[in-house]
Structure 1
Amino acid sequence: MPARKDVDGSASVPAFYGAELRWKREDAGRTLQETVDGSFYGASYLSEIERGTRRMPLDLARHVDRVLATDGFFERRCEDARKARRRGHAEYFMDVLECEKRALEIEEWGPTLIPGPLQLEPYIRAVVRAAHPTEAEDKVTEKVVARRERAWLFEDARSPESWVVLHESILRQPLIGANDMAEQLAHIVEVAQHRRFIPQILPMNTGAHPFMMGTARLMTFADAPPIMYTEDMYNGQANDDPMLVRQYMKAYDRLRAAALPPEASLALIEAAAEDYRNGKEMRGLDRGRME
């Protein structure tokens, strides 16, 4: 049996919370399963909380306090751990952050924006300022740091395999200056060449296509059903209803079929970056030329 990996409680507030939970549980002589018995959660869920990689729901915190006789400690500190974990991210996005760490595959559709983990600082700042124009500078910086920390999703060799379909308008309608836009698009090309994600561009002249109503992200796991996540400017929602997720998966397959092949898409992104470097106006896509 492999040795148990101890939690470094000094790493973060959630890690400290998890380490304290493990200490209290073991001091009480209870296993993970014995601790969650009578709740709606499983032993693996509690294990992830102890490792500092998952947040503690309030109802589970209250259950743990009762089982371990900890006088409401975990309920009182639950909010502290939650606030620390969400730093730089919206509350509604927290479950997605946890899910993407466990995902085997991620499929994403970007109709108007480059996906967050691929964004560089100038692009992130432009997006944040557009949604939150009065945000204090320290809060904007916090969001920049939090988003850049998710870059591992497309850059780490152990990251999930990803497929990203982007609308051509993302290349043609810059949110930032030409030099910054050139660097941003070149970054996408560089990361894609690591072969951790496959890019496709959906041309502007495609006509009617799936997902015209907004963003979508599909995640599959080794030990859980797939989920679908959609988002607008100030809200997001995850759904694991099997029939609905299946509908989204089939729609995503049709979206990929309508997009340019990966190699042609990568060449188009690279050409767009070069145009920005040279100060050229973006050209409309000549699909026949690219295929």
Structure 2
Amino acid sequence: MSKDPRLAKFESMYHPKINQYLKDNLKKDVDQKTLNQAMNFSVLAGGKRLRPMLTLATLKTLGAKLTPAKMKATCALELLHTYSLIHDDLPAMDDDGLRRHKPTSHAVFGAGMATLAGDGLLTLAFQWLVDNSLSVDTKVKLVDGLSKAAGPSGMVSGQASDIEFEDHQLPLSRLKVLHRHKTGALIHYAVQAGLIMGHAKKELVKPLLRFADCFGLAFQIYDDILDVVGSEVELGKPVGQDSGKNTYPNLLGLVGAYDQLEAVLDHGRRDLDDLNRKSSIDTGLLKSFFSYFQVKRRNRRR
């Protein structure tokens, strides 16, 4: 399975725009030299920019114009996502030394400065949501959505459960809840932000958020699988790190994890096809994001 040409074209157009916006604007809001270096180091280290790409794809699907204010609010999510990676890599968490093919923030700047870089990105993300020309109502909805997605009822909750239940295998139902918070919440918000800024019709909101939740679950299952079958060279981060953790391969075996991934992808595609038939919007671009998951059944022995 290869990447959908529609997704490849969209990435080639908007991935550089996101990178350039981050490069040009992040430095404007940091006035401490070493902190600025640490924040820029992690944000500009690369990455798929998947979350802001989903926001922009949602806007495009709705036929909404991309303004500088919308780009700023969109890129705020990448700041927050990068904060979560910095903190996740810290010695007190996963203690990883490699991220995106480069040393992690604490390996370069020390744990204290890395923690502050994460703190700076977290708070700056919310500044970018409100320091723009969007309407007050739109800003409030964005801040409310991201606060819930990133906070103690979202991503932080998932991370806490990930730590608390390490070496204690959860059943599938609770594993799904953990992953919905840990990974799915920010992906849910990525689409939600596009719906908010694109002033989506009421009847489109729930179906497109269901797509977001399918994509978020697929993303986590895929990440779990790659920790087993991937390599550090391919992924740019350590692999084989999930022993004792609550992952799909650890619970269901590798074959079972692949089965779950394919079921989620099939469900998400069918939902988008159904919405495409019932509405006036073209869901093809969003559907193309599912081709991100290159499903190759390797190492079936596990």
Give the alignment's TM-score, normalised by structure 1.
0.30
Higher helix share: 2
Greater relative CO, 1 or 2 (CA 8 Å, sep 6+) = 2
The structure whose Rg is larger is 1
Higher strand share: 1
